[in-house]
Structure 1
Amino acid sequence: MSGKDRLSIFPSRAAMTLMKGRLKGAQKGHSLLKKKADALMMRFRLILAKIIESKTSMGEVMKEASFSLAEAAYSAGDFSLGVLQNVDKAQTKVRSKKDNVAGVTLPMFECVADGTDTYELTGLSRGGQQVAHCKDMFGKAVTLLVELASLQTSFITLDDVIKITNRRVNAIEHVIIPRIERTIQYITTELDEREREEFYRLKKIQEKKKKTRIIEDAARARYIQQQIISEGMSTEPRNLLEETGADPDILF
């Protein structure tokens, strides 16, 4: 979290809601990136197994192709000059396409045949069977080389993407989420402290109002008593017999 984010996160309910939303988004992003990393790793291991299999097959195919070339040269002599003179364009071409794996674009290559086979009747001449076999073996070798190149390119691309994705997953898991959780904990602590301070303040205000009310009641009672005294009225009960004097004698 940058310094600007620290300044903008003021301990309040709105800040708490904002940080909880960020935490939820970070957790969801971490889950999605983790699933993406798992999918890429699964495809990565599958490609690695195919690369090992293709390299093993490549050794056998190249060995057979070299041996068939030696057989064709022994049976038909040096036929390389005739092949070079008759070739005007490539018969086998490489086509590029793309594959999408968890949002990652992987380049794929495949061999396609362009036009007819110029040497489809090669087997009718001297040593033609060996030459045709040599052509088929080298065709398989070219196809396998293109497949291996496609796998190697996808392997390198996936390796780079997996490293970047794992770094992002680790950053979210070990840096971003703990930082947001610490910020939420700080805001919660500040809000609790503020609530305790508010409760203490209200309690002190109530005590002060109570004392003020007691003082005001006492002052009002003293004022009333002073008013009664100033008007010459006694607070004790009066004796009416003393005020009217002795009663007259009654004659019968």
Structure 2
Amino acid sequence: MADDVKTTRLELIETRNRIRLAENGHKLLKQKRDVLVLEFFKIMKQAQGQRTELNSRMKDAFDALGMAQAYHGILEVENISLAVKKAPNIDVQTKNIMGVHIPNIKGEYVAKGIEERGYSIQGSSAKIDEAASAFESSLEIILKLAETENALKRLIQEIEKTKRRVNALDYIMIPNLRSRAKYIIMRLEEMEREQFISLKTIKAKLEREQAAQ
């Protein structure tokens, strides 16, 4: 450290300023990390509920599909499904949580009316309508789950990134700056003692010279 540290009062002031900045940054990063962790667990709870809901809706959807296939036959149900013309429009935007861009997924035309699905009402039955409605309902929750799981992924990445920065300040940067300041103080005190001894020696010499005259 002795080779790369200027042992001046100005350097000590600058080092102390850097310590204060690092400590303030450390405090802010810890606050950010804590907010992100709270948001992560909040969204994770939502995701768990959505997974449970998706499993339930998918079960209902495949049950309804099975009933439609049993009534119309598998080939007929496939032919009816090919008549569906309008695919859902998926719009992905973002929202900002403590600097983390979280996806906000919205779907249009996910849930359709009977007349919007494209197949002939005369050539189908309520069982087809029920199956279509059940899968549309499942798609709605799939979009929500995709949003929350993507949010969880981005949050955990940012939490880990913030944690690394906190640790770097905690265990490397701040201790190094404090050691630097301590070293400068020690050297300044040594220089003051050396200067005091030097002045005292000069004073004694001058006094001896004056006494000899």
User: When the two structures are superposed, what TM-score results if normalisation uses the length of structure 2?
Assistant: 0.89
Give the superposition deviation at 1:21: 1.1
2:208 counterpart of 1:211: yes
2:101 counterpart of 1:83: no
Choose which of 53, 63, 70 in structure 2 pairs with 1:67.
63
User: Match of 1:89, SS?
Assistant: coil
Alignment match, 1:26: 22
- The number of residues matched between the two structures is 210
Q: Write out per-residue CA displacement over residues 85-119 of structure 1, whole angstroms, 9 at most, x where no aligned residue.
A: x33331x2211010101011112212212897463
Q: Write out per-residue CA displacement over residues 194-235 of structure 1, whole angstroms, 9 at most, x where no aligned residue.
A: 11111111111111111111101xxxxxxxxxxxxxxxxxxx
Alignment match, 1:220: none
Cα separation, 2, equivalents of 1:10 and 1:177: 18
Give the superposition deviation at 1:129: 2.3
User: Match of 2:132, SS?
Assistant: helix
Choose which of 182, 185, 197 in structure 2 pairs with 1:185.
182
Choose which of 26, 31, 34 in structure 2 pairs with 1:35.
31
2:40 counterpart of 1:50: no
CA contact under 8 A between 2:111 and 2:136: conserved in structure 1?
no
CA contact under 8 A between 1:72 and 1:127: conserved in structure 2?
no
Q: Write out per-residue CA displacement over residues 9-30 of structure 1, whole angstroms, 9 at most, x where no aligned residue.
A: 3101010011011111111111
Unmatched 5+ stretches in structure 1: 217-252
> What is the CA RMSD across the aligned residues, in angstroms?
2.4
Cα separation, 2, equivalents of 1:117 and 1:140: 12
2:137 counterpart of 1:140: yes
Distance 1:47 1:116, change over 3 A: closer
What percent identity do the matched residue pairs reach? 26
Larger radius of gyration: 1
